[in-house]
Amino acid sequence: MEKYGIPQSLLPGKAYINGTWVSEKAGKTFKVLNPATGELLGEVPDLGAAETEEAIGVAYKTFQTWKETTAKERAKILRKWSELLMANQEHLAKILTLENGKPLTEGKGEIGFSASFFDWYAEEARRTYGDVVPTPAQNKRLVVIRQPVGVAGLITPWNFPAGMIARKVAAALAAGCTTVLKPAEDTPLSALAMAQLAEEAGVPAGVFNVIPCSRPNAASVGKALCESPLVAKISFTGSSATGKLILKQAASTVKKVSMELGATLRLSSSTQQMLTLQ
């Protein structure tokens, strides 16, 4: 992708686990294509359940220290990440447009949109207030405090490859959670570019992990996230059908689950016939 003027640092071509750029153990990769032209943009490691479990273990271990950081410390990192997104807006927008297909102007808008989440949660990290609740007993006081739940497994869609990551990661990190992200199979390059900037922003190793995988491996990676007893929370944006499966898999460990689900695509008979002919 050199001809597009994108710095190589934003195209690491590897997965990101425990602050280290890694390849699939057997060297397996999958191709990332430009949806408009079919051009090969690059190849990234095709990880599976084993690497996902490794990333979960790392995130769980790191959570023990990350949760103890102050809101001020977390806010500083999130704000720096936002600044780096905007400083690299043009390059990130090109990556997003090339792998996603949306116009460059919209790509730039999405990077600004992504940065706004880090800005917002940098402030909200300081406002994780508790409550004092009236009690029926005169000699007792009820105090509510808010604490991070633990490791958050994040699964994001292709249509907003940067925005949906920012929306989930910024909130999780602000609260003191660590994360394992599975980006969409069609758009992993934006996720890996954001991981590079996370490192530059000072996000500690193990707090943000990225597990790219091909479509055939997506089910096993998602299942590992949903069924691991070390993952406390799942956040998913995608189809209703997949959302149902995630709820089923997450039920075995009684996870907290947040989902933004879309309707099933329905094609007219004429469109179906045209696609069949093609």
Q: What is the pLDDT of residues 31-45, one digit of tens each?
A: 999 999 999 999 999
pLDDT at 254: 96
* DSSP states of 215-237: HHHHHHHHHHHHH-TTEEEEEEE
Residues 6+ apart with CB under 8 A from 273: none
Tell me the C-alpha distance between 120 and 115, whole Å: 9
* DSSP states of the chain: -GGGT--GGG---SEEETTEEE--TT--EEEEE-TTT--EEEEEE---HHHHHHHHHHHHHHHHHHTTS-HHHHHHHHHHHHHHHHHTHHHHHHHHHHHH---HHHHHHHHHHHHHHHHHHHHHGGG---EEE--SSTT--EEE-----SEEEEE--SSSTTHHHHHHHHHHHHHT-EEEEE--TT-HHHHHHHHHHHHHHTPPTTTEEE----HHHHHHHHHHHHH-TTEEEEEEEEEHHHHHHHHHHHGGGT-EEEEEEEPPP---HHHHHHHHH-
On average, the pLDDT of the chain sits at: 94
Q: Name the residue with higher pLDDT: 89 or 268.
A: 89
Length of the chain: 278
- Digit-coded pLDDT (tens) for 190-220: 999 999 999 999 999 999 999 999 999 999 9
Q: Report yes or no on 273 lying in a domain.
A: no
Q: Report yes or no on 97 lying in a domain.
A: yes
Total of domains in the chain: 1
In the predicted structure, residue 272 carries a pLDDT above the cut 70: no
Domain residues for the domain of 110 are 2-263
pLDDT at 269: 52
Write the burial class of residue 68 (CB in 10 Å: 0-12 exposed, 13-18 middle, 19+ buried): exposed
- Digit-coded pLDDT (tens) for 125-144: 999 999 999 999 999 999 99
In the predicted structure, residue 265 carries a pLDDT above the cut 80: no
Q: Count of alpha carbons within 13 Å of 100, Cβ hemisphere only?
A: 28
CATH of the domain at 84: 3.40.605.10
Q: Report yes or no on 98 lying in a domain.
A: yes
Structural contact between residues 19 and 199, judged by C-beta atoms closer than 8 angstroms: yes
Q: Report yes or no on 277 lying in a domain.
A: no
- pLDDT band at residue 225, thresholds of 50, 70 and 90? very high
- Digit-coded pLDDT (tens) for 1-51: 667 899 999 999 999 999 999 999 899 999 999 999 999 999 999 999 999
Structure tokens at 48: 């599976």
In the predicted structure, residue 268 carries a pLDDT above the cut 80: no
In the predicted structure, residue 60 carries a pLDDT above the cut 90: yes
Percent over 90 (pLDDT), the chain = 91
Percent over 70 (pLDDT), the chain = 94
